[in-house]
């Protein structure tokens, strides 16, 4: 296996082939829900569910393998959660824009991403982001994942106006299984058990099947449907109209800040950032992300990019592209084993997201809370990312608050020129974001 070591540099990254495989399986298990959830959301936009499933899988496979071989990073690629709901419920249902037009708008945003990345303008902008905000992205994403895990498992449910969340029924079978999963993963993590998160997910899923909390798959294998009805069905004329301009702008900014925040947040947790808080060769994962943002709508699904659930694989020890090479191979198999993958219940993968939320809190110690011009913008990012359930809103608010706080504190020299570009884009985001 020396050729694998030369290709992925296991020794230099302090990892092994076995650890990378476990990490890739872990990442896949925690994000495999996307092959079911994404088509289920996009059917509300009018995109047929079967072909949408195939498009989701193909984007994940291509994105993960490009990340593996070109960037050698453990960042899995798949269609984003959040953007899919924005397209389905706000753009298509709310504004009445056809899904073909919405997908064309995403494609245009992807082309802009590629141009900015090739010209190294995207990297220049990213490097202007201060360290305090970079670390706040990781913390905010951690709480974001925690809430997803709590809500998906039913431990936390939606409440009423004035009390938007409330405790679920802790005595229900589903909640008990989820709590078992959380305790099991916690014990395995404390004991430093290899593949703790993956083992916890699988054991909890088995318990859910045995207890009847989740239905075991009726069959394991099925043939994938045709992607023809949605492939390259892009309405560029509609996407270039004035009516669609806010959609294109919103998609562009949401994807821009989501990807940047996710890459930096995951890199901070994996220890990839250098002494200046920069990710070496960040243009490589960014270029892959930009390409996949074009590929996704071309195949018939929404914006794709680095997935925050990659944090589970990183926590399992994944440090190279072989992690997502494994993840991509697993996604490819889902084309034929969709019933089995779809059967893994939220009670099994939800506790893993909760535990990862804990892991991602550690960068908060790097934020200077004694300097309010640093801590207030960072707190804004974390609070809004978690409480609006929107990564883009949290990050964009931080980009607005940081220069404002520095100006008010008489520290304007700390603001890099690229930060002003982010501030301007963020202000446009808030102006044009369709709030209703």
The larger pLDDT score, comparing residue 198 to residue 187, is at 187
Confidence label for 81 from pLDDT (cuts 50, 70 and 90): confident
How many CB atoms within 10 Å of residue 136? 32
The conformational region for residue 281 under phi > 0 = left, psi -120 to 50 = alpha, else beta, is left
The conformational region for residue 96 under phi > 0 = left, psi -120 to 50 = alpha, else beta, is left
- At residue 208, does pLDDT exceed 90? yes
- At residue 1, does pLDDT exceed 90? no
pLDDT computed for residue 58 by the predictor: 97
End-to-end CA distance of the chain: 55
Q: Helical H runs in 119-244?
A: 121-126, 131-153, 173-190, 196-211, 236-239
- At residue 230, does pLDDT exceed 90? yes
Do residues 414 and 406 make contact, with C-beta atoms less than 8 angstroms apart?
Answer: yes
Cα of 123 vs its chain's centroid, Å: 20
pLDDT computed for residue 13 by the predictor: 83
How many CB atoms within 10 Å of residue 90? 18
What proportion of the chain, given as a percentage, has pLDDT over 90? Answer: 39
**Enclosing domain of residue 92:** 2-432
Give per-residue pLDDT as tens, 105-142. Answer: 999 989 988 998 888 887 787 778 888 888 888 788 88
Structure tokens, 337: 């084993």
- At residue 344, does pLDDT exceed 90? no
Give per-residue pLDDT as tens, 366-391. Answer: 899 999 999 999 999 999 988 888 77
Lowest mean pLDDT, pick from 124-128, 215-219, 230-234: 124-128
Average pLDDT of 302-311? 88
Do residues 45 and 87 make contact, with C-beta atoms less than 8 angstroms apart?
Answer: yes
Radius of gyration over alpha carbons of the chain, in Å? 21
Confidence label for 436 from pLDDT (cuts 50, 70 and 90): low
Give per-residue pLDDT as tens, 22-57. Answer: 999 999 988 887 887 788 889 889 999 889 999 999
pLDDT computed for residue 296 by the predictor: 97
Alpha-carbon distance of 76 to 323, in angstroms, equals 8
Give per-residue pLDDT as tens, 249-278. Answer: 777 777 777 777 788 878 887 888 777 777
State the DSSP H helix or E strand holding residue 157, giving kind and residue range, or none if neither. Answer: strand 156-160
pLDDT computed for residue 326 by the predictor: 96
Number of domains in the chain: 1
């Amino acid at each position: 296996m020396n050729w694998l070591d030369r290709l992925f540099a296991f020794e230099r990254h302090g990892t092994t082939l076995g650890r990378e495989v476990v990490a890739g399986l872990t990442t896949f298990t925690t994000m495999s829900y996307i092959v079911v959830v994404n088509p289920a959301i996009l059917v509300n936009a009018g995109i047929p569910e079967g072909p949408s499933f195939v498009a989701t899988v193909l984007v994940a496979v291509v994105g993960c393998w490009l990340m593996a071989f070109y960037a050698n990073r453990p960042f899995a690629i798949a269609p984003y959660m959040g953007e899919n709901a924005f397209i389905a419920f706000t753009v298509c249902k709310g504004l009445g824009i056809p899904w073909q037009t919405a997908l064309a708008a995403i494609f245009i945003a992807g082309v802009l991403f590629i141009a900015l990345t090739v010209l190294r303008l995207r990297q220049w902008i990213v490097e202007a982001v201060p360290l305090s905000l970079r670390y706040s992205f990781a913390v905010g994403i951690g709480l974001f994942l925690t809430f997803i895990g709590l809500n998906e498992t039913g431990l936390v449910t939606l409440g009423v106006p004035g009390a938007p969340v409330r405790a679920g029924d802790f005595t229900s079978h589903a909640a008990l299984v989820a709590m078992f999963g959380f305790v099991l993963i916690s014990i395995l993590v404390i004991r430093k058990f290899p593949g703790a998160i993956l083992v916890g997910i699988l054991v909890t899923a088995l318990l859910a099947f045995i207890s009847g909390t989740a239905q075991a798959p009726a069959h394991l294998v099925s043939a994938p449907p045709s992607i023809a009805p949605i492939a390259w069905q892009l309405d560029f004329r509609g996407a270039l109209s004035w009516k669609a301009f806010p959609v294109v702008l919103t998609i562009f900014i949401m994807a821009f800040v989501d990807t940047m925040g996710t890459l930096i947040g995951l890199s901070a947790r994996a220890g990839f950032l250098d002494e200046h808080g920069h990710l070496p060769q960040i243009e490589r994962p960014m270029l892959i992300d930009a390409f996949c943002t074009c590929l996704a709508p071309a195949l018939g699904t929404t914006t794709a990019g680095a997935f925050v659930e990659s944090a589970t694989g990183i926590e399992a020890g994944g440090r190279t592209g072989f992690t997502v090479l494994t993840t991509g191979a697993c996604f490819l198999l889902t084309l034929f084993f969709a019933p089995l993958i779809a059967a893994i219940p939220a009670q099994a993968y939800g506790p893993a997201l909760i535990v990862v939320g804990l892991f991602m809190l550690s960068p908060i110690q790097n934020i200077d809370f004694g300097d309010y011009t640093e801590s207030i913008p960072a707190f804004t990012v974390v609070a809004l990312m978690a409480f609006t359930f929107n990564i883009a809103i949290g990050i964009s608010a931080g980009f607005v608050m940081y220069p404002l706080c520095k100006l008010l504190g008489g520290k304007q020299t700390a603001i890099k020129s690229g930060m002003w570009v982010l501030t301007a884009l963020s202000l446009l985001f808030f102006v044009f974001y369709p709030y209703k």
